[in-house]
Amino acid sequence: MVQTYSISELSEQFDITARTIRFYEDQGLISPRREGTRRIYEERDRVRMKLILRAKRLGFTLSEIRETLDLYDSASGGELAQGKFVLEVINHHRAILMQQQNDILDVLQDMKNVEQRILNRMKSPEQKAQ
Amino acid sequence: MVQTYSISELSEQFDITARTIRFYEDQGLISPRREGTRRIYEERDRVRMKLILRAKRLGFTLSEIRETLDLYDSASGGELAQGKFVLEVINHHRAILMQQQNDILDVLQDMKNVEQRILNRMKSPEQKAQ
DNA sequence: CATGACGTTTACGTAAACGTCAACATGCCT
DNA sequence: AGGCATGTTGACGTTTACGTAAACGTCATG
């Protein structure tokens, strides 16, 4: 017997509203099984949701996410026709992510600098930076 | 003689529209000097713009960016009153950024897997995954 | 059986981040 | 003086990602 979830259970797990989940479905990001009119989410839906939210945190738009998930699905579904294209998309995304890694490192460094200036000033309040 | 830039020069440098730059000004993100009505951007504006765009790429909203820049300004301006608060904000942001680093690593790994599956299939097209 | 708790669809509202005119000023070139 | 590039300020339009409310179905429970 496989674990399934209602929409409210899922929304609780991921700390999003049910409205959001239904919206994602409207946008073609997930398509849970139905039992009558009720939505039933299985493990694969949960995994997909996890991917969606992760991509969102990284700033991808919902339609970008949908396209990418569809693409990966087709690739893992055996549609090797588009193999080369998928590889290109992957490399494109990889480039974006690596740019973000750099951005993060830069910002972390900036924050470190600001932090140090504050800490210094808190130790010796009189000191004015040259 | 210090380097300055017109709005179109700046927009070209950062590959954004002049409209975007004016909008950021409306939102209090940058405040260039004026010469008559014309906007004149100096090096410090350029640096600020760089910070803005970097933060944007990381998914921060414009108002978050404005608040943060203001905060950092006040901190570097000597308003040590808020020192502790600034440190808290910095730690908060640091947590977000580190979460993003994890997300990126996860996605990169996922992409690697998809890529491998495609490459394998391209080498031996007949093979079906068990 | 009525009263929640939970679910559904449909539809309008909204905040963020610009795009897209319009209508006008200003400087420079010929 | 005329023309063109470049600039300015509104003001309205658009897309994305949901929020919010209305109006209704379904099921368990007192």
pLDDT digits (tens, 9 = 90+) for B48-65: 999 999 999 999 999 999
* Coil, strand or helix at B75: helix
For A88, residues 6+ apart whose C-beta sits below 8 A from its C-beta are: none
Q: E strands along A4-78, which residues? A: 33-35, 38-40
Mean pLDDT on B79-100: 86
Residues of chain A above pLDDT 70, percent: 92
Contact A107, B75 (CB under 8 A): no
Q: Hey, where are the domains in chain A?
A: 1-78, 88-130
The confidence score (pLDDT) of residue A100 equals 95
Cα–Cα dist A32/A124, whole Å: 60
Q: Is A1-78 assigned to CATH 2.160.10.10?
A: no
Q: Which amino acid is at B78?
A: G
CA proximity to B62, closest of B86, B36, B30, B96: B30
Split at pLDDT 50, 70, 90, the class of B123 is confident
Give residue ranges of B with CB < 8 Å to any A CB: 51, 54-55, 57-59, 72, 75-76, 78, 80, 83, 86-87, 90, 93-94, 97, 99-101, 103-104, 106-108, 110-111, 114-115, 117-119, 121-122, 125, 128
Q: What is the pLDDT along chain A (130 residues), one digit of tens a residue?
A: 689 999 999 999 999 999 999 999 999 999 999 999 999 999 999 999 999 999 999 999 999 999 999 988 887 777 766 788 889 889 999 999 999 999 999 999 999 998 998 888 888 755 544 4
Q: Which CATH class is domain B1-60?
A: mainly alpha
DSSP for residue A5: B
Q: What is the pLDDT, as a whole number, of residue B102?
A: 96
Residue tagged 């299939």 (tokens): B121
Q: Is B127 helix (H, G, I), strand (E, B) or coil?
A: coil
β-pairing, B33-35 vs A38-40, is: unpaired
Check: CB of residue B55 under 8 Å from CB of residue B65.
yes
Task: Kindly report, residue by residue over B68-77, the tens digit of the pLDDT.
Answer: 999 888 877 7
CA-to-CA distance for B22 and B2, rounded, in angstroms? Answer: 22
- In the block, residue with structure tokens 């996922």: B110
Mean pLDDT value of segment B12-37: 95
Nucleotides of D under 7 A from a protein CB: 6-9, 16-20, 26-27
Partners of residue A40 on adjacent β-strands? A33
- pLDDT for B129: 46
Per-residue pLDDT, averaged over B102-115, amounts to 94
Q: What is the DSSP string of A73-102?
A: HHHHTT-GGGHHHHHHHHHHHHHHHHHHHH
Confidence check: pLDDT of B47 > 90: yes
Q: Cβ contacts (< 8 Å) between B103 and chain A: which residues? A: 54, 57-58
> What is each CA distance from B69 to A112, B29, B66, B75, B81, in whole angstroms?
14, 8, 5, 10, 17
DSSP annotation of A28 reads: T
Q: Which residues pair with A5 in a beta bridge?
A: A41
